[in-house]
Amino acid sequence: MKILVLNSGSSSLKFKLYEMPSKKVLAQGLVERIGEERSLIHLRYDGPTYESSEPVHDHRHALEILEKIFPRFGILPSFKELGGVGHRVVHGGESFTAPTLIDATVRSAIEALIPLAPLHNPANLMGIDAFTALAPETPQVAVFDTAFHQSMSPEAYHYAVPDSWYREWKVRRYGFHGTSHFYVSRELARLKDTPLEGLNCITLHLGNGASVCAVRGGKSIETSMGLTPLEGLVMGTRSGDLDPGVHYYIHRCTGKSPEEIDRILNKESGLKGIAGSNDMRVIQHRMEQGDESAKLAFDLFVHRLRKYVGAYAVLLDRLDALVFTGGIGEHSAPVRQALCKGLTALGIELDLAANEAVRTDARPVHSAESRSELWVIPTDEEGVIAEECYRLVEENVKG
């Protein structure tokens, strides 16, 4: 069965085509700058890389172009040949605790959650609606970033605000990157050949967006992101944890609107706000050249991360492993080394040679003396979405 995975942004469409259940990748790519005069189409498959620049009016047009390109290169005769389509949906609120087949009711529920994710859910719906218009009979599945964290206890997900805020407007902590945290914790258990139910780990998804998750027995018990992806760690362009009073103070000092302040905290803060760049590779290079702002950005990133790891280790009682994933987590040896250097109180010791080795596979990087294991595990969110889509489509056919 062929499964297409879509990740729809406001002006982009990432895609990955799988043969299931083998999870063989048949094609993958990106349509970007949707709605502009010179949109870009990138396609990788078992052949030469295909790139094109042409107007792409909207997400439906992007899919129409893909449906024409796929047969040209012998990738897929038609969308009608697909067994299902899996969509990444950022916010499932309290309504969705697991992946689900999309019908009119589910689509309406995703739309109703737009106030909780105004930047993401509308874009995710664009992808769902566009594919429905082209192939309405093809089963579609929504996989939610928030679903994995619905196992958090009330004391972990509640904010200390008036209860009416939660009852009426669902103000609470939801967490994100759930598909990634789920995958790497499950993969850790597989690599260690140990039951997931008996494993305690902290998973670190570190990229332009970054979050930490405490996982006990395969279930999220705490995570760093909250109502929105703004809470928690220092990120590429997001501030992470911030005194809520800063919003009103900046409004009073500058006259900036709440919307403008929110934009700055999401788009112009974090590493970019401190060092002028949201690329950790650039920051590390500049830090090596003696750039003080780059050093501050790096140190702040690691300091915040260390605080969360220490707190989550206490919540878990026993820490079996710390897992690094995401662009920074997988590829930045300096970040891993700086973090672990500050975790000696937890008995954590890094194998410096293993940490410095340039590899792309999953591997341990702890020393023999380390009390907890340290792993680098590449994430595979699209693969999880493909698996869940395939599983639900199969169950629907049988059931």
- Outline where the chain has alpha helix (H): 59-72, 104-112, 121-134, 154-157, 163-169, 178-192, 245-254, 258-267, 270-275, 280-288, 292-316, 326-331, 333-341, 352-356, 381-398
As a whole number of angstroms, the distance between CA 343 and CA 328 comes to: 18
User: Domains in the chain, ordered, with CATH?
Assistant: 2-144 (3.30.420.40), 193-381 (3.30.420.40)
DSSP-derived 3-state class of residue 90 = coil
Reply yes or no on whether 317 is catalytic: no
Give the per-residue pLDDT at 397: 78
**Quick check: 244 and 220 in contact, CB under 8 A?**
no
- For the chain, 399 residues long, the average pLDDT of each consecutive 10-residue run is 96 97 97 94 93 95 96 95 97 95 97 90 96 96 97 98 97 97 98 97 97 98 96 97 97 97 96 98 97 98 98 97 98 98 95 96 97 98 98 87
**Quick check: 389 and 143 in contact, CB under 8 A?**
yes
Among residues 58, 103, 129, 145, the one annotated as catalytic is 145
Give the per-residue pLDDT at 8: 96
Give the per-residue pLDDT at 63: 97
Alpha carbon separation from 194 to 148, 183, 199, 379, 383 (Å, rounded): 21, 15, 8, 19, 22
Give the per-residue pLDDT at 399: 65
Give the per-residue pLDDT at 319: 98
Evaluate the CA torsion angle 289, 292, 293, 294 in order and state its sign. Answer: positive
pTM of the model: 0.95
Tokens 């004391």: give the residue: 155
DSSP-derived 3-state class of residue 212 = strand
Give the per-residue pLDDT at 48: 86
